[in-house]
Amino acid sequence: MTLFEQVSKDIVAAMKAKDKVRLEALRNIKKVFLEAKTAPGANDTLEDADAMKILQKLAKQGHDSAELYAGQGRQDLADAELAQVAVIEGYLPQPLTAEEIEAAVRDIIAQTGAQSVKDMGRVMGVASKQLAGRADGKSISEAVKRLLA
């Protein structure tokens, strides 16, 4: 079952459970998925990898919005936003810890034969693909720099 199908199925379950927060978050996810699916050049398909990128983007936007609301003294809106982010993050794989990222980067450095910071681009290319969805680019980059230095 694709991620798109899973979200559609979960919308029905949320409606039956009368879970308004979950339902609103899932409908928002499906709306963005449909927009991506019908975008020019998408061939009316949405791969799970693309869906994961969309979910990561939505989660990041939700965190940023909650931060803004909290900064403006609107904790009620921040809490609502964070509740939706929790639903979105339920579909994302567990993020790697710093130690796991470092171990994965060590393996990638060994695979690519990288010796110095000059080889960072090659290592980052492989690491970004292997760790996609489980670690952000910034933490991967920091680990690569630290291990190649």
The tens digit of pLDDT for each residue in 94-108 reads 888 888 888 888 888
| Domain boundaries, given as residue ranges, for the chain | 3-89, 98-148
If you classify domain 98-148 with CATH, what class do you get?
mainly alpha
pLDDT value at 51 more than 90: no
Distance CA 42, CA 57 (A): 18
Question: What would the mean pLDDT of 72-80 be, rounded to a whole number?
Answer: 94
- Domain covering 3-89, topology: Hypothetical Protein Yqey; Chain: A; domain1 (1.10.1510)
- The answer to whether the CB of 105 falls within 8 A of the CB of 97 is no
pLDDT value at 112 more than 90: no
